[in-house]
Amino acid sequence: MSAAVIESLDHEGRGIAHVDGKAVFIEGALPGERVEYTVLRERPRYAQAETARVLKASAQRVAPRCAHFGTCGGCSMQHLDSSAQAAAKQRILEDALWHIGKVEPQIIHPAIHGPAWGYRYRARLSVRVVPSKGGVLIGFHQKRSSYIADMHACPVLPPAISALVPELHGLIAGLSIADRVPQIEIAVSDTATAFVFRHLLPFSVGDRRALAAFADAHGIQAWTQPGGPDTAAPLHPQGGPGLAYTLPEFDVRMDFRPTDFTQVNVHINRLLIRRAMQLLEPRPGERIADLFCGLGNFSLPIARRGASMVGVEGSEALVERALANAAANGLAARCEFHAANLFEATEDSLAALGPLDKLLIDPPREGAIAVVKAISPLQRPPRIVYVSCNPATLARDAAVLVHEKGYVLRGAGIANMFPQTSHVESVALFECV
């Protein structure tokens, strides 16, 4: 067993040390600590390891709140104080921008904070029947494994939802097709909570009664999903309220289905939209594009500020939802939405959107490399706000914007969308020189 002093954290929340000229990435170790570690995987230039014993603890080390921490792969930073987590993520963002993109923000925006616990309004729990381990297992996947961490509580879920996890074990165990229910998707909204039960065989009449009774007993909606996301349908109650979240600052209500993509953390989402609008500054008379717009999370606040906006999204179903949300909020006259594959964007496809005063980009983890490469020197939006969920692809795309397209990186900062995890959400502002 070896010992090392931890220098920093990597993008997965692992401590980084250098031993005999080789980088060692150590799970469960914090900057400034001296730890003993066990090597999990050895490579010529680096090693992956886990902490065996903390010899000198960081002042920022705290006791993990969850009994499953260390086994469950859902959280990786519960041993680090919540405020220190945000600071670490800011450093991860800045390091990625410099080391990958060779860019530095002129301004570091203050980190966006929210509740450290009970924030996760969306979750996808895996289900497996393993008789040798006591029957039904429900939870997130274990670290570095396809096995399921059998959870009986989860403190990053809202308390009322966490309390239902033990009840789910009994519910699934009593179904006739218990071994054919691989997943339960949970969506908590301002108006209702839905549990979507993915099933590979039809539910029996008794199964459907059990699911309905569970829904009645706990005040949730039970949905079934026999195939892809579009096959999800309410089982009980029929005619219940639709799912929706509100953006009070912009007088907007967003309706959605439980299998639609929405942000996990409703508290941070509201603050992130506020930050994005402060940076974008939408004004009446402007035409602004929202790329990877989803169901209109940023689009409708842009329109509410008086600008005309055009949203582009790869999913036709989400485009339909965005159109419906614009109409329901009285913003249809200032909104248009189109379905297109933005990973294949070209100068011509961007030019087809018409002259743009500003641009907001909110891509998935893969980033928006095709979009930024397609920005024409003759038709550059003067201002771009880029919302990112992956510092590495943001940095890659920032390099194109700054070194090839003539933008400067005015500012960047993180939003702690997923406390207790290493996930880094951020927002950056680019402007033409």
Q: Is the pLDDT of residue 143 over 90?
A: no
Decide if pLDDT at 132 tops 90. Answer: no
State the CATH number of the domain containing residue 293. Answer: 3.40.50.150
CATH label of the domain that carries residue 52: 2.40.50.140
User: What pTM value is reported for the model?
Assistant: 0.94
Is 432 a residue of the active site?
A: no
Contacts with 295 (C-beta within 8 Å, 6 or more apart), sequence order? 254, 256, 260, 261, 262, 318, 321, 322, 325
Check which CATH number belongs to the domain holding 208 and give it.
2.40.50.1070
pLDDT tens digits along 194-249: 999 999 999 999 999 999 999 999 999 999 999 999 999 999 999 889 999 999 99
The token pair that represents 168 in the structure block:
């789910």
Statement: residue 159 has pLDDT above 90: yes
Whether 256 maps to a domain, the answer reads no
Q: Which residues are annotated binding-site positions for S-adenosyl-L-methionine?
A: 263, 292, 297, 313, 341, 362
pLDDT band at 145 (very low <50, low <70, confident <90, very high): confident
How much is the mean pLDDT over the chain? Answer: 96
Annotated binding site: 66, 72, 75, 154, 263, 292, 297, 313, 341, 362
321 and 299 fall within a common domain:
yes
Instruction: Answer with the one of 61, 81, 104 that is the final residue of a domain.
Output: 61
Q: Which of 86, 391, 112, 386 is nearest to 274 (CA)?
A: 112
What is the crossing angle of helices 82-99 and 391-403, to 10°? 40
* pLDDT at residue 237 in the model: 96
The CA distance from 406 to 378, in Å, is 11
Q: What is the mean pLDDT of residues 254-262?
A: 96
Q: Over 90: is that where the pLDDT of 133 sits?
A: no
The active-site residue, picked from 293, 335, 389, 432, is 389
* pLDDT value for 325: 98
Angle at 138 between CA 259 and CA 419, to 5 degrees: 65
- Looking at the structure, do residues 227 and 107 belong to the same domain, yes or no? no
pLDDT of 324 over the 90 cut: yes
Judge whether 207 lies within some domain.
Answer: yes
Structure tokens at 135: 């029957």
For residue range 352-403, what is the model confidence (pLDDT) as tens digits?
A: 999 999 999 999 999 999 999 999 988 899 999 999 999 999 999 999 999 9
Q: Please give the share of the chain, as a percent, with pLDDT higher than 90.
A: 95
| Inter-residue contact 183 to 124 (CB < 8 Å) | yes
Count of structural domains within the chain: 3
Q: Tell me the residue type at 77.
A: M
